[in-house]
Amino acid sequence: MRRLSCVVQKSSKPFIRLFKVTQLEEIIYKCREGNSKAQTELYRLFSPRMYGVCKRYARDSADAEDILQEGFVRVFTKIRQFEFKGSFEGWLRRIMVNTALEKFRKLDRLYPVEEMKIYESTEWVEETISTITADELMTMIQELPPRYQMVFNLYAIEGYSHLEIGEMMNISEGTSKSNLSRARLILQKKVSENFGTAKKLIEKAI
């Protein structure tokens, strides 16, 4: 399994606690005035997490950097549209996801994928799960077919419904469900192949 060489920052506390809300608001207000220093500060605060988001939607690191760059440029130019209703991080994340979606649409990556074999569903013991690193899982996600990757990210990690995903990607709700199932199966197979200690379950994923 290929491992990424980048440094991973792990924070146990919720991200917002790392920075006082009032200070964050002050930075946002300064960013609205075009203050470069505040923009730098905002970037420093949120770029590691947003880069993580971008990597999940990208094919590789270069793709992720492009999405992050375009996303932050949009954030800085449209920050006046943020009305302090809801979480700022959520707003940022939505911008990154939309940027990724647009990029994939432009590159015509959301082509339909072929029928795939249905793999048996597996369940892993706790020890197996603890040995899998985030980088390894990230690589698995990046190797998914583009549409499966997008649907899986949106549903399993971002928490969007199939209806919302269908609207975002211009596909039907059924297609979204189907793509998710296939994405799960592929990931399941990859985990099983790479971590042989996984024990098979009788039940199927679908």
Partner 1 sequence: MENHPIDQLFKEKLGNFEQVPPVDLLDKIHQEVIFRSRVRRLNQVKAVIGIAAALVLIMLAGWYTSSLNQYAGNKISAISQENNTSEQTSPAISTPVTAKSEHPLMAYQQSQSQIKAKQNNGTTKIFQGQKKITPVPSGNEPMAIAPVNEESTKGTTTTKPSSVSKETAKTESVQKNSQKRKEPLYFADSQFGTNVPQKNPVKGSWVIKAELSPMFAPQNQSGSSSGSANTKSINTLSGGMIASYKLSKRISISSGVRFSQMKQGTHTDYSISSTSGIMYLQPVEKSANISRDVSLYLPSLSSIVYSNGMKSSSSNIFASDISQEFKYIEIPLQATYKLIDDKLSLGLTGGIGTNILVGNLASITENGIKLSQGDTNNLRNIIYSGTAGLEVGYVIGKNLILTVEPRVKQYMHSVSTNDLVDYKPLQLGIFTGIAYTFK
Residues that bind partner 1 (CB under 8 A): 4, 6-11, 15, 33-37, 39-40, 43, 47-49, 51-53, 55-56, 65, 68-69, 72-73, 76-77, 121, 123-124, 129, 132-134, 137-138, 141, 152, 155-157, 159, 161, 184, 187-188, 191, 205
For residue 36, the cross-strand partners are none
Q: Are 56 and 153 in contact (CB under 8 A)?
A: yes
CA-based radius of gyration for the chain: 19
For residue 19 the two structure tokens come to 């920075």
Quote the CA–CA distance of 16 and 20 in Å, as a whole number.
Answer: 7
Please state the closest distance from residue 143 (CB atom) to partner 1, in A.
Answer: 13
Q: Which DSSP category does 82 fall into? A: -
Please state the closest distance from residue 56 (CB atom) to partner 1, in A.
Answer: 6
For residue 62 the two structure tokens come to 């270069």
Residue 152 CB contacts under 8 Å (≥ 6 apart), including other chains: 141, 144, 179, 180, 183, 184, 187
For partner 1, the closer CB: 91 or 188 = 188
Please state the closest distance from residue 127 (CB atom) to partner 1, in A.
Answer: 14
For the chain, the residue count is: 206
Residue 56 CB contacts under 8 Å (≥ 6 apart), including other chains: 138, 141, 142, 149, 153, 157
Please give the C-alpha separations between residue 57 and each of 6, 136, 143, 205, in angstroms, as whole numbers: 17, 15, 11, 23
